[in-house]
Amino acid sequence: MVAALNGAALGGGYELALACHHRIALKNPKAEFGLPEVMLGLLPGGGGTVRLPRMLGLQDSLPFLTEGKKLKAEAALRAKLVDDLAETPEEMIAKAKEWIKANPNAKNPWDDKSFKYPGGNTRSPKIAGMIPIVPAMARKKTYGNYPAPIAIIASVAEGSVVDIDTASRIESRYFTYLATGQVSKNMTNAFWFNLNKINGGGSRPKGVEKQVTKKLGVIGAGMMGSGIAYVSAMAGIEVILRDTTMERAEKGKAYSEMLVNKRVKKGKMTKEKAQEVLDRIIATDDANAVAGADLIIEAVFEDREIKGNVTKECEAVMDSTGVYASNTSTLPITGLAKASVRPEKFIGIHFFSPVDKMPLVEIIKGEKTDDETLAKAFDYVKQIGKTPIVVNDSRGFYTSRVFSTYVLEGIAMIGEGQNPQYVENTGHQAGMPVGPLALTDEVSISLIDHIRKQTIKDFEAEGKSIPDHPAYVVIDKLINLDRKGKAAGAGFYEYPEGSKKFLWPGLNNLFEQAEPLAQQEIIDRLLFIQAIETVRCVEEGVIESVADANIGSIFGWGFAPYQGGTLQFVNAYGFDKFIKRAEELQAKYGDRFAVPQLLKDKAAKGEIFK
């Protein structure tokens, strides 16, 4: 039996190939090979943990099984995931037939009674010494929140010392254990059903023809603008990167040059391809250079007046049917659109930093944004290979608004006298990729302070006041001490040149130290505050899609992936239990934990978020 692989073979598809005697793959640039089931909280249940280790050995197979590594055709051949490559489908079939004729009595090595594990099984001294360490390393990475890697290691280890039929039964039982567990249900819901709904255009306006962005204007060549220019040029789009001076514009383009040069050094791109990408980016200080652009993205400083001036300047010269977008992360789009003569063609396209690495883009509809404009933004985000979520206008929209609750809750605990290192470590234990204090430094303490002051100013203009948050007592102290974040060289952390950052020792002296909270109490505070704010976003109509909420939380700011997203966290916890726990937190820490009426109403009806 020869597996002739003309496209991708992932998961069950690759396990079918493993059951064959020989594997020939077509040199299809889009095809990938591997066993990514761990990314859904599962293990390869069709023989993956049995056959791959018998083919590659335990050590070489575990990265593919526990990390879900996927390889392109040439890399798969080097890693021995496939045995041969073909240039054309015809050559692939011809090679398959030739191999069958040349091997009439083919037998997989593990079907031979004399079979020996490559490199030894778990009873061999070398492997026996290694195996106990592997689960410990996995737990260090996952904080015990992901059972799949541990189950995979156990299935491989136990299956290595028995015959293949018994090993397959062991694998099936571990698979059942994972598939019936809550983590797998959460991750499958998010990374399969929710993600497929988004990528399938679930939030795109129906009945609007697909639009292709050909010429993009990017205003502002700072970190965000430079990143937007890079990902757009990589997608084949002509980019006009404009700033107030040529020096700034050229510096912005140099960022793309640095990134493509890295790809060339790693063998991921040819010099010719790299030059093509750079040639698509025109750095300029000429305001008229964006004439003819069918999409303009403004990425200037978070100041309403500056953004308004840029809007007027660009609309005077841009394509009359083109779309104008702001990359603002906090300022309401409807307010920014007041500077526009075409508010129906004005929209928010919020990227995350660093743009080249972050997979999500948040699209924000203003009150007057029309369907064609939304479709244009959605199609552009897909064109550059990102995942788009669509939300309605609000201060902070969805991602910035909910993300801020996580960092502010962590900061508030410092003001209560909790140990900073304990808070950071518990953030990781909760499943967040970065602790709240480190994340605040990355975003910049001064930016958070600026956003707060802008919000106070805007609310006062509307005759309103913003609710107090205990975190700002801490933020004010750090600002007064000129500790403004990582970019300033000092924040919650110290950033010594040439060595690793560490928490600023003086942080412990700012507030009287209190009795440590139970770890679960901190975890609940960090996760519940994000989930409650997400429910408020649903209640206010900011979020219309559960899929957008869940994927936006995971891809946008790293909400614990094993929980399946902020709304799935509520579903899995159980509405009645969630409400009871939230009320306990409200009684202890304040009304920011108040349960939204929408959640109470859904609980009364026995509904969930779906």
User: Would you please indicate which residues are annotated as catalytic (active-site) residues?
Assistant: 362
Helix (H) / strand (E) element for 392: namely: strand 387-392
The two structure tokens encoding residue 138: 């996995």
Please calculate the CA angle 418-420-421 and round it to the nearest 5 degrees. 120
Output DSSP code: residue 1. Answer: -
Q: What's the token pair of residue 553?
A: 């939380």
* 458 class by beta-carbon count within 10 Å (0-12 exposed, 13-18 middle, 19+ buried): middle
Torsion angle (degrees, nearest 10) of CA 592, 598, 604, 605: -150
The C-alpha atoms of residue 432 and residue 526 are separated, in whole angstroms, by 9
Triad 458, 459, 465: Cα angle to 5°:
150
Where are the strands (E) in 161-263, listed by range?
215-219, 238-242
Spatial neighbors of 282 by CB under 8 A, at least 6 apart, are 238, 239, 240, 241, 289
Helices marked H in 235-303: 246-265, 271-279
Radius of gyration for the alpha carbons in the chain, expressed in angstroms and rounded: 27
Q: Mind giving me the DSSP string for 355-384?
A: TTT--EEEEEE-TT--HHHHHHHHHHHHHT
Q: Which two tokens stand for residue 342?
A: 């075409």
Q: Give ∠ CA 592-403-443 in degrees, rounded to 5.
A: 125
Concatenating the DSSP letter of every residue in 512-545 gives ---PPPPHHHHHHHHHHHHHHHHHHHHHTTS---
Of residues 450, 396, 440, 443, the one with CA closest to residue 420? 440
Q: What angle do CA 594, 597, 599 make, to 5 degrees?
A: 90
Q: Using CA atoms of 501, 263, 353, 327 in order, give the dihedral in degrees to the nearest 10.
A: 160
Which residue reads 């995350």 in tokens? Answer: 352
CA-wise closest residue to 195 among 555, 473, 600, 574: 555
